[in-house]
Amino acid sequence: MNMNDLNERSIIVTGGASGIGAEAARRAAARGARVTVADLSVEAGQAVVAAIRADGGEAQFVRTDISVEDDVRRLVEEAVAAYGGLDGAFNNAGLPPFSSARNGMHPLAGLPAEAVTRSLQVNVLGCFLCLKYEIPAMLASGGGAIVNTSSANGLVAIPFSADYIAAKHAVIGLTKAAATDYATQGIRVNAILPGIIRTPMMLTATGGDAEAVDSFRKAMPIDRLGEPGEIAEVALYLLTDSASLMTGASVSVDGGQTAV
Ligand SMILES: NC(=O)c1ccc[n+]([C@@H]2O[C@H](COP(=O)([O-])OP(=O)(O)OC[C@H]3O[C@@H](n4cnc5c(N)ncnc54)[C@H](O)[C@@H]3O)[C@@H](O)[C@H]2O)c1
């Protein structure tokens, strides 16, 4: 057996309609996985599934708000029903910081409490709910692997992003807790910590402003933005048996951003 194989594995990708998640869904399907794409965004999610099928891959779309328990329960049920079980999950959906070119830039005391609540609901509770329903389905399938998307901001702060920084630190905590609780039961749980990646989320944060993009680029010693595929490849590796000793890890994929 090829240890790096995803062939015929049933895998959920949340946030699979855009950016990093869409790239991961496409690449997983190209490697033979049966992919359940979950997202709030119906049209874009269905387009990702259509592209996978056009290339001969297997995928389905399930409209999901990861912050709503019933949605997540149904997502996992649909993945199991369509593909006979659940072997892997990339819990990647997330909300960007409230501060943005559109909303203005807010130091901690200027952030509306509702913005922090929403960030915690999607980025933290959403991740918890995915773990809560995926893990029992994986136990029933004989084990599995999970990757949660944190961020370089799960380790270090940047200005004006307290909502996001708190949430992404918490994703690392959830990852360690889940890894600890299920390490002896054939379930591995790791976090991936992207640097600044060229996706719609990054463009929303900067409003496309060249100076803002430039300052993001300079935060990465590698002196360029990351591409979605560079995150997707590492996430998929963590889902394979090649990563069999890895659990509870925080894997930085950030061009050196958190090394300096
Ligand atoms: N782009 C970056 O620079 C960067 C850096 C570090 C971490 N991340 C993280 O990577 C992940 C993917 O981000 P991206 O850059 O690909 O962004 P993106 O905006 O391109 O994709 C995020 C997707 O998540 C979906 N989503 C948002 N809220 C949801 C919800 N409640 N339920 C279901 N789906 C929901 C959106 O509809 C969207 O399709 C996020 O968790 C983000 O925080 C991104």
- What is the CATH number for 208? 3.40.50.720
End-to-end CA distance of the chain: 40
- Which of these, 194, 181, 198, lies nearest to 234 by C-alpha position? 194
Report the half-sphere exposure of 240 (CA within 13 A, side-chain side): 18
What per-residue confidence (pLDDT) applies to 4? 62
Sheet of 187-194, strands arranged across: 58-63, 34-39, 10-14, 88-91, 144-149, 187-194, 250-253
- How far does CA 80 lie from the centroid of its chain? 20
Nearest-atom number in ligand 1 for the CA of 68 is 31
Length of the chain: 260
- Which residue range is the domain that position 151 belongs to? 10-251
- Which of these, 250, 85, 99, 245, lies nearest to 164 by C-alpha position? 99
One digit per residue, pLDDT tens: the chain, 260 residues? Answer: 466 699 999 999 999 999 999 999 999 999 999 999 999 999 999 999 999 999 999 999 999 999 999 999 999 999 999 999 999 999 999 999 999 989 999 999 999 999 999 999 999 999 999 999 999 999 999 999 999 999 999 999 999 999 999 999 999 999 999 999 999 999 999 999 999 999 999 888 888 888 888 888 999 999 999 999 999 999 999 999 999 999 999 999 999 999 99
For ligand 1, the distance from its centroid to the CA atom of residue 245, given in whole angstroms, is 27
- Which of these, 181, 80, 81, 78, lies nearest to 138 by C-alpha position? 80
The whole-model pTM stands at 0.98
In short, whether 126's Cβ falls inside 6 Å of ligand 1 is yes
Annotated active-site residue 164? The verdict is yes
In short, whether 94's Cβ falls inside 6 Å of ligand 1 is yes
In short, whether 97's Cβ falls inside 6 Å of ligand 1 is no
Report the half-sphere exposure of 150 (CA within 13 A, side-chain side): 31
Q: Look up residue 59 and give its two tokens.
A: 């995928």
What per-residue confidence (pLDDT) applies to 252? 98
- Which of these, 60, 65, 63, lies nearest to 49 by C-alpha position? 60
Q: Whose CA is nearest to atom 23 of ligand 1?
A: 15
Residue 1 lies in a domain: no
Residue 259 lies in a domain: no
For ligand 1, the distance from its centroid to the CA atom of residue 41, given in whole angstroms, is 11
Residue 69 lies in a domain: yes
In short, whether 36's Cβ falls inside 6 Å of ligand 1 is no
Q: Look up residue 229 and give its two tokens.
A: 């595929």
Residue 260 lies in a domain: no
Residue 4 lies in a domain: no
What per-residue confidence (pLDDT) applies to 209? 85
What per-residue confidence (pLDDT) applies to 206? 85
Angstrom distance (rounded) from CA 12 to CA 28: 10
Q: How many folded domains does the chain comprise?
A: 1
For ligand 1, the distance from its centroid to the CA atom of residue 86, given in whole angstroms, is 22
For ligand 1, the distance from its centroid to the CA atom of residue 95, given in whole angstroms, is 6
In short, whether 100's Cβ falls inside 6 Å of ligand 1 is no
Q: Whose CA is nearest to atom 27 of ligand 1?
A: 94
Residue 256 lies in a domain: no
